[in-house]
Amino acid sequence: MKHHLYPIKFQPILKEKIWGGTKLKKLLNKESNASNVGESWEISDVEGDTSIVSNGELKGATLKQLLATYQEELIGKKNFVVFGEKFPLLIKFIDAKEDLSIQLHPNDELAAKRHNSFGKTEMWYVMQADERSNLIVGFNQKVTPEKYLEHLENKTLSKILYFDKVSKGDTYFIEVGRVHAIGAGVMLAEIQQTSDITYRVYDWDRKDDQGNERELHNDLAIDAIDFGMKDDFKVAYSKQENEPNNMVKCPYFTTNYVHLTETIKKDNVHDSFIIYMCVEGEASITIDGFSETIKTGETILMPAALKQFQLASNNAKLLEVYV
């Protein structure tokens, strides 16, 4: 039986990481017995990690089942033509208790050729940062492949990397080919293409409980690094209340910042699903008598077929995402 679509929530998929901490549990109320939860995958169609609906009549259905059943009603006509029964985005919250590895992601062409996958263009919105926390984004000088390999060999890569001190609300656009890392003490929201392809180039020489270092991918990475990339990774955006303020617009996703202080009516004119990530406060979404609440650290999917709805809050900050 095909149910009417409504605002859909999913069970978070929690990932233990060697660098993970406790903020996702303490600040975002994610439930886990692990002490090192690094990621909460909010909406995922990655093979082996498919999201499961947690609310309404479709509770228990997987995102793959929704795509097979509802197709363009779920993701939009143009998206269905391009992606078929594959959800195009992976939505996460990340807590870095320790520095993540220095890494980068391949573009669509390389990812398809090597891994039968999408590339991994992504963006970060900083939700909380400890004092003196930073992100690594690109290089601090002009770097050639030869110079990069020399520093990699000598384990002095950090000398040529750009460290940017971060604060709550800071936003970064991480294009494929850009070397980067999330620093210790940072919790953020991440929006990315559906891909789990990461080329790890340096992991600070750390070892796991069994004394093993994590795998590096330097042979693959050298061809994937864009050494001529501009330093345009920091995103400036306006913060007008009760309207969408554009943060990132790229071929893979558009993300807007919405600071809600009242009830607003929304018209979905994008021929796409819309995702709302609540990064602060609490908001309600109402359509045809159905109402759902999202709190800090929660995510909701508005299927493309839902053309008009209401958002309401006296003080909530949302990331609004569509393709």
Annotate 33-66 with b (16+ C-beta within 10 A) or e (fewer): eeebbbbbbbbbbbeeebbbbeebebeebebbeb
Separation CA 14–CA 97 (nearest Å): 15
Q: What's the pTM value of the predicted model, to 2 decimals?
A: 0.95
Residues in the chain: 323
- CATH number for position 272: 2.60.120.10
Please list, in sequence order, all residues whose beta carbon lies within 8 angstroms of the beta carbon of residue 311, skipping any fewer than 6 positions away: 258, 260, 263, 264, 266, 276, 283, 284, 285, 318
Same domain, 138 and 201: yes
Q: Tokens standing for 185?
A: 């003490």
**How many structural domains does the chain have?**
2
Residue 2 falls inside a structural domain: no
Residue 38 falls inside a structural domain: yes
Q: Which amino acid is at 157?
A: L
Residue 7 falls inside a structural domain: no
Residue 270 falls inside a structural domain: yes
Same domain, 204 and 262: no
Same domain, 40 and 113: yes
Q: What is the pLDDT of residue 1?
A: 59
Residue 36 falls inside a structural domain: yes
Separation CA 131–CA 115 (nearest Å): 38
Residue 8 falls inside a structural domain: no
182, 205, 221 - which closes a domain: 221
Query: What DSSP character marks residue 305?
Result: T
Same domain, 61 and 136: yes
Same domain, 96 and 207: yes
Same domain, 167 and 114: yes
pLDDT in tens, the chain (323 residues): 578 999 999 999 999 999 999 999 999 999 999 889 999 999 999 999 999 999 999 999 999 999 999 999 999 999 999 999 999 999 999 999 999 999 999 998 999 999 988 889 999 999 999 999 999 999 999 999 999 999 999 999 999 999 999 999 999 999 999 999 999 999 999 999 999 899 999 999 888 778 888 889 999 999 999 998 888 899 999 999 999 999 999 999 999 999 999 999 999 999 999 999 999 999 999 999 899 999 999 999 999 999 999 999 999 999 999 99
221, 253, 282 - which closes a domain: 221
Same domain, 62 and 169: yes
Same domain, 53 and 192: yes
Same domain, 182 and 269: no
Q: What is the pLDDT of residue 214?
A: 86
Q: What is the pLDDT of residue 142?
A: 95
Residue 94: which of 11, 35, 151, 16 has the closest Cα?
16
Residue 286 falls inside a structural domain: yes
The tokens 């790229």 sit on which residue? 250
Torsion sign over Cα 248, 253, 259, 265? positive
Torsion sign over Cα 258, 262, 268, 269? negative
Please list the alpha-helical segments (H only) found in 199-269: 218-221
Same domain, 214 and 271: no
Q: What is the pLDDT of residue 211?
A: 81
pLDDT in tens, 55-111: 999 999 999 999 999 999 999 999 999 999 999 999 999 999 999 999 999 998 999
Q: In this structure, are residues 120 and 173 in contact, taking their beta carbons and an 8 Å threshold?
A: no
Same domain, 293 and 155: no
Neighbours of 154 (CB within 10 A): 9
Domain extent at residue 276: 245-322
Residue 236 falls inside a structural domain: no
Same domain, 109 and 181: yes
